[in-house]
Amino acid sequence: MEQIQFSKEELERYSRHLIIPEFNIEGQRKLKAASVLVIGSGGLGSPLLLYLAAAGVGRIGVVDFDTVDASNLQRQVLFGIQSVGKSKAMAAKERLASLNPHITIDVHNTKFTSANARDLVRQYDVVADGTDNFPTRYLVNDACVLEGKVNVYASIYRFEGQASVFNELLSDGTRGPNYRDLFPSPPPPGLVPSCAEGGVIGVLPGILGSLQALEVIKVITGVGDTLSGRLFLFDATGFTTRTMKVRKDPRNPLNGENPTQTQLIDYDQFCGIGVPASQEREVEAIDVHELHSWRESGKEHVLIDVREPYEFGIAEMGGDLIPLATVLESTTRIPKDVPVVVQCRSGARSAKAIRQLEDVHGYTNLVNLTGGILAWQEHIDPSLARY
Amino acid sequence: MAQLIIPTPLRKFTDGQGIFTQEATSVKELLHALASQHPGLKPHLFEDSGSLRSFIRVYVGDEDIHALDGEDTALQPNDEVSIIPAIAGGA
């Protein structure tokens, strides 16, 4: 560590670290010598990257395949309006380079997959998981366990957040618990909606991502006790926090007593994604162009919108609002003698509404609007707000 | 009375209710009382075999029931029981 030197500018920049007795220049040297891979530069990744760069982590890798969308700016504070439409990983590099020119930023403008995960993880000392779906959560965990890297974890849902430190190298030479010790397998698809579907209060990823940055810095410097072996929970609605114990599970398939998994797997399959929902039958459908021509030609039909009132308030296309949960009791508003087009945000809930109405009330005149109001906005009416 | 904290993703099955309070002598009794009051919750708590699903953890205080007596873990009158689900958001 003695060979890590600082310029005058760096010493001044990091002076508030250097004067903490427990941290001092030794902690700063460890940060400068360290490399961190941040997977995802969204809600969690934004504060993570900003604080790690500001703190002086010597080399930071950013993995993201996405581009910046206007709906990201409510929480992804790494980006500004000039970033909209740009590659997130590239926009992140520009922002971080302007924040701290004394560090290196590696751009990985790619999806994090079973094919590249281990190669990427291997190039860094610590991994921070800022991803947003179960398949990638398990992929990040497994790649870290197989490559012997620490996985600093946080996740959020609406007003709730969780954080932990997985697979940390402990003083006795063993590794702390990992994600599979906590949750051996994921919930079925659809039970826990993503932020895109379920929404998220914008400050929450800011809080959890900042906690993650803190834990990354503690892992690197050895200052304090990390969240290894503990799960931190935050519920913003009641402002309650809880910290639970996490123990190793001897049945862990990666590093339990009888490991059965020695390489990465297909995580979409593991999480039940892409497996056809055989019990859900297809429903009749039309696309937005066809509905548009129905309207232009004056063809008789009724449009039913099965979204929630708060969604209707963001954007609507002239349908009669009957939220999915109430369609079965609202049959007086849904005729049986003219074509009825059923619409939601993207087409899934409206298909469900049609199946329910057909099964319970014997409707035969219902058609689903493929792609929902999002497709209508994209192809027919760009003046509507997307959400 | 033991208090059970219901996490946000499962509150859609409890009419938005976040805390369930009930006289119960074991974790199992408490969870089954919750599930019988809110039947929609049952498939999200239990496998068909009756065991707890693998994407939720149940804690008494800060301790995982797996490290205690599992679902048979005895409850004291003021115990706080938490259901902790896997969540994945972050973008």
ipTM above 0.85, yes or no: yes
Task: Report the residue of chain B nearest A195, measured CA to CA.
Answer: B89
Q: Which residues contact A277 (CB under 8 A, 6 or more apart)?
A: none
Give the pLDDT band (50/70/90) at residue A319.
very high
**How many CA atoms does the CB half-sphere of A158 hold within 13 Å?**
12
Q: Are the Cβ atoms of A134 and B8 closer than 8 angstroms?
A: no
**A203: Cβ–Cβ under 8 A, 6 or more apart, which residues?**
A75, A236
Residue of A nearest to B58 (CA): A244
Q: Which residues of A are catalytic?
A: 195, 344
Instruction: Output the CA angle A116-A170-A172, nearest 5 degrees.
Output: 130
Average pLDDT over residues A296-323: 94
Sign of CA dihedral A120, A196, A181, A267: negative
Listed in sequence order, the residues at least 6 apart from A230 whose beta carbon sits closer than 8 Å to its beta carbon are A164, A243, A244, A245, A246
Q: Is the pLDDT of residue A260 over 60?
A: yes
User: What residues of B are in the A interface, CB distance below 8 Å?
Assistant: 7-9, 18, 44, 53-55, 57, 59, 62-64, 66-67, 82, 84-91
pLDDT above 70 for A14:
yes
Query: Are the beta carbons of A42 and B84 separated by less than 8 Å?
Result: no
Contacts of A151 (CB under 8 A, 6+ apart): A127, A128, A129, A140, A141, A144, A145, A165, A166, A167, A178, A179
Q: Mark yes or no for CB contact A132/B90 under 8 Å.
A: yes
What is residue A227's predicted lDDT score, i.e. its pLDDT? 98
A42 CB within 8 Å of a chain B CB: yes
* Per-residue confidence (pLDDT) for residue B4, from 0 to 100: 96
- Tens digits of residue pLDDT in A63-107: 999 999 999 999 999 999 999 999 999 999 999 999 999 999 999
Domain B2-85: which topology?
Ubiquitin-like (UB roll) (3.10.20)
Nearest to B75 by CA among B36, B37, B22: B22
CA distance A180 to A247: 11
At A374, the amino acid letter reads L
**Residue A222 Ramachandran class (φ > 0 left, ψ -120 to 50 alpha, else beta):** left
Contacts of A156 in chain B (CB under 8 A): 87, 89-90
Pairing type for strands A285-286 and A366-369 reads: parallel
Can you name the residues that pair with A230 across neighbouring β-strands? A245
Q: Which CATH number fits domain A34-270: 3.40.640.10, 3.40.50.720, 3.40.50.300, 3.90.650.10?
A: 3.40.50.720
pLDDT tens digit sequence for B28-76: 999 999 999 999 899 889 988 888 998 999 999 999 999 999 999 999 9
Domain boundaries along the sequence of chain A: 34-270, 285-379
DSSP run (H or E) holding B27 = helix B27-37
Q: Which residue, B44, B46, B89, B40, is CA-closest to A325?
A: B40
Neighbours of A336 (CB within 10 A): 13
Of B53, B64, B85, the CB nearest to A245: B64
> Is the CATH number of domain A285-379 3.30.420.40?
no
- Reduced to 3 states (helix: H, G, I; strand: E, B; else coil), residue A59 is strand
Two tokens, residue A313: 């308030």
For residue A360, what are the CA distances in angstroms to A189, A275, A329, A331, A337? 25, 27, 11, 11, 17
Using 50, 70 and 90 to split pLDDT, how confident is the model at A145? very high
The mean predicted confidence, pLDDT, of chain A is 94
Tracing tokens 């409510």 back to the chain, one arrives at A74
CA–CA gap between residue A366 and residue A340 (Å, rounded): 5
In angstroms, the CA B83 to CA B71 distance is 12
Q: pLDDT tens, A188-221?
A: 776 666 656 667 889 999 999 999 999 999 999 9
Predicted local distance difference test score (pLDDT) of residue A23: 96
N- to C-terminal Cα separation, chain B: 39
Question: Is the separation of the CB atoms in A93 and A103 below 8 Å?
Answer: no
Report the C-alpha gap between A139 and A273 in whole angstroms.
14
Task: Determine phi and psi for A385, rounding to 5 degrees.
Answer: -80, 140
**Who's near B86: CB < 8 A, 6+ residues apart?**
A134, A182, A183, A186, A187, A192, B55, B56
- Percent of chain A at pLDDT exceeding 90: 86
User: What is the pLDDT, as a whole number, of residue A197?
Assistant: 64
Q: How many beta carbons lie within 10 A of that of residue A80, not counting itself?
A: 11
From chain A, pick out residues whose CB is under 8 angstroms from the CB of B8: 157-160, 235
Q: How many Å lie between the alpha carbon of A42 and the closest alpha carbon of chain B?
A: 4
Which residue in the set B54, B63, B89 is minimally distant from A183, CB to CB? B54
Q: What pLDDT score does A281 carry? A: 80
Q: Which residues, in sequence order, are bridge partners of residue A161?
A: A156, A234
Does the distance separating the beta carbons of A157 and B8 come in below 8 Å?
Answer: yes
Q: Identify which of A185, A195, A237 has the shortest CB distance to residue B89.
A: A195
Chains A and B form CB pairs within 8 A to the count of 106
Contact yes or no for A192 and B88 at CB 8 A: yes
Q: What confidence score (pLDDT) does residue B2 get?
A: 92
- In single-letter form, the type of residue at position A177 comes to P
Q: Which two tokens stand for residue B78?
A: 């003021």
Is the distance from CB of A226 to CB of A219 less than 8 angstroms?
yes
Structure tokens at A267: 């995580």
Q: Answer whether A65 touches B (CB < 8 Å).
A: no
> Residue A277: pLDDT band by 50, 70, 90 thresholds?
low
* pLDDT the model gives residue A275: 56
Q: Which A residues, 138 through 197, put their C-beta within 8 Å of a C-beta on chain B?
A: 154-160, 162, 182-187, 191-192, 194-196
Q: A339-371, pLDDT tens digit by residue? A: 999 999 999 899 999 999 999 899 999 999 999
pLDDT, residue A2, reads 67
Which pLDDT score, from 0 to 100, does residue A189 have?
77
| CA-based nearest distance A245→chain B, Å | 6
| Residues listed for chain B | 91
Buried b (16+ CB within 10 A) or exposed e, A218-238: bbbbebeebbbbbbbbbbbee
Residue to substitute from B45, B55, B58, B80, interface A, most A β-carbons within 10 A? B55
Could you tell me which chain B residue has the CA closest to the CA of A71?
B91
Cβ of residue A8 closer than 8 Å to a chain B Cβ: no
